[in-house]
Structure 1
Amino acid sequence: DGMGGGAGSAGMRRIASGISLSGLSGAGDDVGDTTASVASTYTGLTDTKRGKTTPMEGREGGLLVLRALCEIVGRKAEPFVVPFLAAALDESASSSGAVREASEDAATAVVALANALAIPGVVCPVLFEALKSPEWRVKVNALERLAQCATTAPRQIGKLLPRIIPVVTSEVWDTKPQVTKAAKDALLQCCRTNANPDVLPAIPAVVDAICKPSETMKAVDELKGTTFVATVDGSTLSILCPILSRGLKEKQALSKRSCCVVIENMCRLVDAPTSAAPFGP
Structure 2
Amino acid sequence: ALKGLTALCKGEPALSEAVAIATLPAQLPCLADRADSVKEATLALCKIEMKMCSPTAVKAILPALFDGLLDSNWQVKEGTCKCLGWLADTQQGSVGACLVDIIPKVSECLGDTKKQVASAARKACGKACLVIDNPDILPIVPDVIKTIGDVGKTEATMDKLLATTFVTQIDQPTLAIMVPILSRSLADRRALMKRKGALVIDNMCKLVAEPMDMAPFAPVLEPKLTRNADEIASEEIREFTAKALATLRLAMGDAADTFIPEPAMTVQGMVDVMTEVVGDKAATAAPLILHSATMVHFKLASDKRIEDGVCDMAVKPYLEALMGAEEGAAASVAFNEKCDEIISAAAKEQGYVMQDDDLCHIDFSLAYGGKVLLQNTRMHLKKGRRYGLIGGNGVGKTTLMRAIDNNQLEEFPNDLLRTIFVESHSSQEEDEEEMTVMDFILKNDIIREEKTVEQIKEALFRMGFTEDRINQTVVSLSGGWLMKLALSRAMLYEPQIMMLDEPTNHMD
Using structure 1 for the length normalisation, give the TM-score. Answer: 0.71
Query: Match of 2:129?
Result: 191
Q: 2:196 is matched with which residue? A: 258
1:215-230 equivalences under 5 Å are: 215-230=153-168
- In the alignment, structure 1 residue 79 sits paired with structure 2 residue 37: no
Task: Please show how residues 1-281 of structure 1 align to structure 2 within 5 Å.
Answer: 62-120=1-59, 122-280=60-218, 281=223
Contact 2:109 2:149 in 1 (8 A): no
Q: Distance in 2 between matches of 1:214 and 1:205?
A: 12
Task: Decide which moves more: 249-258 or 64-73.
Answer: 249-258
CA contact (8 A) 2:109 2:117 kept: yes
Spell out, residue by residue over 1:119-138, the C-alpha distance to the aligned partner (whole angstroms, 9 max, x if none): 12x11111012223222211
Identity percentage of aligned residues: 37
Higher strand share: 2
Does the CA contact (< 8 Å) of 2:111 and 2:150 recur in 1? no
How many residues in Structure 1 have an aligned counterpart in Structure 2?
219
Q: Which amino acid aligns with 1:132?
A: L
The CA distance in 2 between the partners of 1:196 and 1:86, in whole Å, is 35
Task: Please say if residues 85 and 110 of structure 1, whose CA atoms lie closer than 8 Å, have aligned partners that are also in contact.
Answer: no
Contact 2:106 2:121 survives alignment (8 Å)? yes
Is the contact between residue 103 and residue 125 of structure 2 (CA under 8 Å) also seen in structure 1? yes
Aligned to 2:216, what secondary structure does the other structure show? helix
Q: Distance in 1 between matches of 2:135 and 2:4?
A: 42
CA separation in 2, counterparts of 1:180 and 1:130?
14
Distance change in 2, residues 1:130/1:221 (3 Å): same
Q: Look at both structures and tell me which one has the larger radius of gyration over its CA atoms.
A: 2
CA–CA separation in structure 1 for the residues paired with 2:188 and 2:27 = 44
Identify unmatched segments of 5+ residues in structure 2: 224-508
Match of 1:117, SS state, is helix
> Letter of the aligned partner of 1:80 in structure 2?
V
Larger deviation, residues 142-151 vs 257-266: 257-266
Q: 1:251 to 1:74 in 2, by over 3 A?
A: closer
Please identify, of 174-183 and 207-216, the stretch whose mean Cα deviation from structure 2 is larger: 174-183
CA distance in 1, matches of 2:83, 2:75: 12
Query: 1:154·1:193 contact (CA, 8 Å) conserved in 2?
Result: yes
| Stretch deviating more after TM superposition (200-209 or 128-137) | 128-137
Tell me the distance in 1 between the aligned counterparts of 2:190 and 2:107.
Answer: 25
Contact residue 82 and residue 114 of structure 1 kept, 8 A = no
Amino acid in structure 2 at the alignment position of 1:277: A
The alpha carbon displacement at 1:252 in A equals 4.9
Structure 1 runs, 4 residues or longer, greater than 6 Å off: none
Question: How many angstroms does 1:253 deviate by?
Answer: 4.8
CA RMSD of aligned residues (A): 2.0
* Structure 1 CA distance for aligned equivalents of residues 56 and 134 of structure 2: 21
Check conservation: 2:95, 2:128, Cα contact below 8 A. yes
SS at 2:215's partner residue? helix
Task: Verify the 8 A CA contact 2:31 2:75 in the aligned structure 1.
Answer: yes
The structure where helix makes up a greater share of residues is 1
Indicate conservation of the 8 Å contact 1:69/1:81, yes or no. no
